[in-house]
Structure 1
Amino acid sequence: MDRIKGILIPVIVLMMAACGAPDNDGDTRIVSLMPSNTEIIAELGLADQFVSVTTEDDYPASVVDDESLVKLNTFELDEEQLIGLSPTHIVAHASSAPMHQDILDRVSEATGADVLVVEDASDIEGIYDSIRKIGGFFDVPEKAEKVIGDIAKEMGNLKEQYSSEEPEAAFIHISAHPEIYTAGDGTFIDDALGWINVENAFDDMEGYPNVSAEAVVERDPDILVSLRGLEDKALAQSIRDIPGLDGLAISEPENQCNVDPDLISRPGPRSAEGLKAVGQCVYE
């Protein structure tokens, strides 16, 4: 059956392409394949033009609560389903585009949809680049610059607010024992925390390294910033389950910052909100 389907899908795509792009009556029909892109597009005032987002999208509420939107599983992207949506614009992401490139090419050929692949933001400036590219893609550059200006103002205020604070060294908590992953240098999370004068205890490592409990003990960070999305009690228990951390500052609940992971790990319009939450936890 899989072999038959593999033969039929390209045939169907070619037949649809031969018949020309579907008639969209001039309406813009947007498919977003990454939650961070969805948030940016919504912030640009285009949420009412979505026809589909992903099963992982959980913001804004207007998108989450819209039962007319098709929710796509990007891990198993359905080509026929995408074609059936008759999109005019598809916004993909560099982290998954290689896996979907052939599908996106065929869908674009069949429907006439324009496709934009947004690069992964590794710093705050990367957010602005993403917004600018998406704004240009939808021909709303002025709105994009307004959104960028608003975010930049918030970020500047946060930087000024915490610039005189004594820096705290943070362990960025991404996964549980025994596979302990953290964020190192060259990541968006590392750059973002730097804006509020929070040092990364593992900034000598690149990307998202797997670290040992012994390495955490050796560095003895002042604060733990958790991006696991746990309740406070569950987070405290998770840290107690890591052997050897007893006696460290981060083993105490008052030194554990439990923030919405989407606000920090998802580069987008709400990043300043996430950093404000971290700053309040660390310094206030």
Structure 2
Amino acid sequence: MRLPATAFEERPGDTIARASCRPPRPLRGWGDFSRPALELRVRSLLDGCEIRNQKRRRNHRPVARTDTKAPFLFLVLLVTAALGLLASCGGDDQPSGANSPARHADASGAQPETAFPLTIEGSDGVAVTLEAPTRRIVSLSAHATEILCAIGAGDAIVAVERWANCPLGSNEKPALDAYQPNLEAIASYNPDFVYVFSDRDGIVEALRRVRIPVLYLKLPSSIDGVLEQIELFGRITGHTAEAADLVRSMRQRIDAVKERISDIQVGPRIFHELDPTYYTAAPNSFVGDFYNILKARNIAEGAETQYPQLSAELIIERDPEVIILADQGAEVTPEAVKARPGWDQISAVKHDRICAVDPDIVSRPGPRVVDGLEALAKCLYPERFQ
């Protein structure tokens, strides 16, 4: 049995149940101002070539360049200026690459600009290299669309996956179906970047064959993974400061929730209902991570899959103290749960602890996951979260 597509970006058993987020490789580019690196760059200019620090993958969409030899006097001036810059910094060698201070926030909290070319490795091990911030994005994922919109990159989106738009709740952007992707439809928007979370119908290789830059990156498997992807999309679009601000705000809210339950050792037993046939979320799933943070005891502990289907008998036996309803489109109510045969024996039913939550904020790994965490905290600890 499959859940409605709106319950997740992926149904149980599909890629959301196996999602993982792999951070991009650190880069060494023109942001490296150490003396050896700068001297190497100057020598490369004198030879009329450009040193590349990242190997190109076969899927990279080449960008035409025109190399011209500068007059010798100009190059002399360039060398002089470069050495003067080094001298003004005291001549000390600085670390380069991803760990360079130039790539981190300064003492005031300001975020640096992303260094391009930017290379990101996908979940399939294939990298995409971007020469500049993306300006025409096809987002074949509702969670990515929400992230892009939240960090101020909505203007760069030319088409979206049909379950989320930008602004959220609008129909402003044309919609595509990520579950039945169409190469011609995607290409018609002339994208300079396509994001997919699932390789449906071989769409990733199809896009690469027509030289459209595509990043195949699976959905985050945890809330920390969501924060990492927000920062990644900030770098891809050139909105690093906005992404950093959003992540900072989300972390503060997460920390505030953790602080309120810091003295609790073990939380209540929970059953998170995904649909009326008793699909649920195990502790090692994305949805399960909410309850890990909230110190809840998940009755799906020990399940063989991330999104198992439980029997009514097992649910009654494990006696959840709180039942959370996230039944997208099924319109299951607390009253309907109470009327189920034998469920009057369950503690959550006896004590009227049945909560209905918006499935999108607890199933979609985007910027609203903090709303989901706070909503679930109120369900589990109503006396602490008013």
Band the TM-score falls in, shorter-chain normalisation: 0.7 to 0.9
Contact residue 159 and residue 197 of structure 1 kept, 8 A: no
Q: Is 1:70 equivalent to 2:174 in the alignment?
A: yes
User: Deviations 1:125-175 (Å, cap 9, x if unpaired)?
Assistant: 111222232222223333333222221111111111123346111101111
How far is the alpha carbon of 1:241 from its aligned partner?
5.5
2:286 aligned partner: 188
User: Deviations 1:209-264 (Å, cap 9, x if unpaired)?
Assistant: 111111111110100011114698x4224424643212212335831111111111
Instruction: Map 1:1-284 onto structure 2 (within 5 A).
Output: 28-57=135-164, 62-67=167-172, 69-93=173-197, 96-97=198-199, 99-100=200-201, 102-110=202-210, 112-165=211-264, 167-176=267-276, 179-205=277-303, 206-229=305-328, 234-240=332-338, 242-251=340-349, 254-284=352-382
Q: How many residues align?
A: 250
SS in 2 for 1:39: helix
2:90 aligned partner: none
User: Deviations 1:7-56 (Å, cap 9, x if unpaired)?
Assistant: xxxxxxxxxx9xx9xxxxx9811111111111111112111221111121
SS in 2 for 1:211: coil
Q: Share of identical aligned residues, percent?
A: 26
Contact residue 31 and residue 89 of structure 1 kept, 8 A: yes
Q: Matches of 2:321 and 2:134 in 1, distance apart?
A: 53
Larger helix proportion of the pair: 1
| TM-score relative to the length of structure 2 | 0.59
2:81 aligned partner: none
Contact residue 54 and residue 73 of structure 1 kept, 8 A: yes
SS in 1 for 2:238: coil
CA RMSD, aligned part only? Answer: 2.6
User: Deviations 1:74-108 (Å, cap 9, x if unpaired)?
Assistant: 22212111111111111111xx22x24x4333335
State the AA in 1 paired with 2:269: A
Q: Matches of 2:336 and 2:220 in 1, distance apart?
A: 29
Contact residue 283 and residue 291 of structure 2 kept, 8 A: no
Q: Matches of 1:149 and 1:29 in 2, distance apart?
A: 27
Q: Matches of 2:136 and 2:208 in 1, distance apart?
A: 13
Q: Matches of 1:116 and 1:134 in 2, distance apart?
A: 11
Q: Matches of 1:238 and 1:74 in 2, distance apart?
A: 33
State the AA in 2 paired with 1:118: L
SS in 2 for 1:181: coil
Contact residue 54 and residue 71 of structure 1 kept, 8 A: yes
Q: Matches of 1:175 and 1:223 in 2, distance apart?
A: 16
Contact residue 162 and residue 196 of structure 1 kept, 8 A: yes
State the AA in 2 paired with 1:173: E
1:13 aligned partner: none
Contact residue 270 and residue 323 of structure 2 kept, 8 A: yes
State the AA in 2 paired with 1:52: A
Structure-2 change in CA distance of 1:78 and 1:248 (3 Å): same
How far is the alpha carbon of 1:66 from its aligned partner?
3.8
Give the unaligned 5+ runs of structure 1: 1-16, 21-25
Q: Which has the larger radius of gyration?
A: 2
Q: Matches of 1:41 and 1:160 in 2, distance apart?
A: 29
| TM-score relative to the length of structure 1 | 0.79
Q: Matches of 1:231 and 1:119 in 2, distance apart?
A: 27
How far is the alpha carbon of 1:207 from its aligned partner?
0.6
State the AA in 2 paired with 1:189: V
Structure-2 change in CA distance of 1:190 and 1:27 (3 Å): closer
Q: Which has the higher contact order (CA 8 A, sep 6+)?
A: 2
Give the unaligned 5+ runs of structure 2: 1-60, 65-132
Contact residue 204 and residue 216 of structure 2 kept, 8 A: no
